Every structure is written in C-alpha cells, then in structure tokens.
Homo-oligomer: A and B are copies of this chain.
Amino acid sequence: MKIVIINKLLKETHKELIRKTAADIGGSLLFVDSEDEITPEFEDCEVIYGFGMKNASKNKNLKWLSVPSAGVDYLFKPGVFANEECLITNSSGAYGVTIAEHIICVSLMMMRKIDHAYQESVNGNWSAPVKQHSLKDCRILVLGTGDIGCCFAKRARAFEPACITGVSRTGKCSDTSFDVMKKVDELDSLLPDTDLLVMSLPDTPDTRDILSASRIAMLPEGAYVVNVGRGSAIDEKALAESLNEGRLGGAALDVFKTEPLPEDCFLWKTRNLIITPHIAGNLTLDHTLNKNVRMFCDNLENYGRGLPLNNLIDKNKQY
C-alpha cells in the first residue's frame, strides 16, 4: 500500500509516528513538502494525507484522500477525482481549540474597542476611553455547532454571557456547552435577540449567503458578527453597508468569498471590520498540527484493518 504524505510543516516526531503506524499495516511511505515532489513510483498511490488534488485528478488508484483541513468544499468540483469512489476524510476536530481562541480574541477586540486603541498606539497616539461592551451578559448565537462551535461555547461560558444559543441543521448537539439548541429554520426569530453572532459553518449549497442582507437587518443595532467558517456564508456587500452605516457594532472576518482578498476589495476599507488572512485555524500552531497527525494515524490504522474511517465525508451533504 503506497501512502503519500504532503506537509512541509511535519517534524521528525510526526514522521516517526506516521512511519510506525504505516509499518503496522504494511504501508510504504513517501514524505514530500509539496505535491509537485511526488516521485513517479508513488504517482499511483492508494492513500494521500495532505492537499493532493493534482494527483487525485489523474490517479485512478487513489482510494482515500485525507485532507488536513476541516473544510472540504474545494473537493466538490467536477474533475477533482479520477476515481469517483475515492473516500474523503477531513480533519474536523483538530481545529476547535485554535479557532475558538481566535473567535474569543477578535470578539473582545471589537467589543472592547481594543482594535482602535491598538491602531492608534501603532501610530504613536494615546487615545481617549470610548464606550466598551463585554462578553459578560452578552447574548451569543453560534451558527454551526461542530467541533469549532462547541470549543468556542465552552470557552465563552467562562465569561458569564447571558446565554449561548447553538443553531444546527438538526437542532441537536451532544455537547452541553449551549444553553439551548435550535434548528436552522428558526434562525430568523433568533437574530433580533443576538448581540454576538458567531458563524462556523461549512460551505455547502445550504449555507451559501445564509447571512443574507435581510438577515443582517434582523440583527439588533450594535450587534457583532464573527465568521470563521467559509466566506460564502455571508452577503459581504450587505455586511459592509451595515458596518459603514454604523448599524452593526463590528465584524471580524477570517474567511472570504475570494481568498486572498483582492487588493481592490471594498472590504479593506470597511468601517469597524477586523480582517484576518484565514489564520484562525492553521497548522502553524503545534497543538493543531499534533492533533491533526494523531487523527490521521488513528484513521490509517482503521484503514489498514478494514475498519470504518472517522471523519468520512458524506458526498451528498458535502461535509
């Protein structure tokens, strides 16, 4: 069984763990920093862990693609897989901790106006105090209650918010961090009572522009929006208008319809908008990389033993 690992950030300890697991199931390994370095011998590999879409598009022998990301939207385009039966797993579960920290950080930056004070200080100005808001007594709505939403809710709880409401397709969540769970078709009735809206949704046909212009208008004046899922979920033009008018208190976007954000995009100049370059969850944090590799090794053992894979993507739901 030929296994290709594509990841330039792996350390020797990660490689050692992967080697040990591969040896247990009789796999032969190739480590490369990028997909272009795959040797001819491994071009017909059975398993790839990493972003191996070029290989997947021509390798009919590829049976399992394990991607280190949580989102998999980029795999649902025509022609991605030469073998349409190829299994896909993602790394959902590796990003909850890091993205939750990002959400807490940017929420507090906005609500406490630290973004503006910091910006002033970079320019050498000691700015005057302004009105601040707090996670304390805040009404939080979490749209998308997967690993990321749950890890965030668990941390947000310690700040004594008024309530944390979770919203998912089913209206259910096994995690106990939410005060109440609601179905996504109740969203319109929840938005008017939301001070902080946190969005951690995958990109699927159902989630595109879910935060539409009309829903943005349902949020109360001064509300804050954070998006760490996929940029497709928000009507960016309508959000920018609401921010520029001063109706919303602020927004923090880590994901965008087009990434990197084009140089001439109107979002760069939008008022009270914190832009971060898709850094809420990436493998430059040790915890995330370690967990990502451990999850792959667990799954490689499953694969080798013919057991069901964890994090298997449902190609109909697209997540």
**Which residues of A approach B to under 8 Å, CB–CB?**
97-98, 101-102, 104-106, 108-109, 112-115, 117-122, 124, 126-137, 154-155, 157-160, 259-261, 263, 268, 274-277, 279, 282, 284-287
- Kindly list chain B residues whose C-beta atoms are within 8 Å of the C-beta of A121: 268, 274-277
Least Cβ distance of A250 to chain B in Å?
13
- Kindly list chain B residues whose C-beta atoms are within 8 Å of the C-beta of A106: 114
- Kindly list chain B residues whose C-beta atoms are within 8 Å of the C-beta of A158: 154-155, 157-158
- Kindly list chain B residues whose C-beta atoms are within 8 Å of the C-beta of A159: 101, 155
Instruction: Report the Cα distance A165→B180, complex, angstroms.
Output: 34
Instruction: Report the Cα distance A167→B262, complex, angstroms.
Output: 49
Least Cβ distance of A199 to chain B in Å?
18
- Kindly list chain B residues whose C-beta atoms are within 8 Å of the C-beta of A117: 276-277, 279
Tell me whether B137 and A287 are in contact (CB under 8 A): yes
Least Cβ distance of A258 to chain B in Å?
11
From B109, B130, B131, B155, give the contact of A105 (CB < 8 A). B109
Instruction: Report the Cα distance A202→B282, complex, angstroms.
Output: 39
Instruction: Report the Cα distance A261→B124, complex, angstroms.
Output: 9
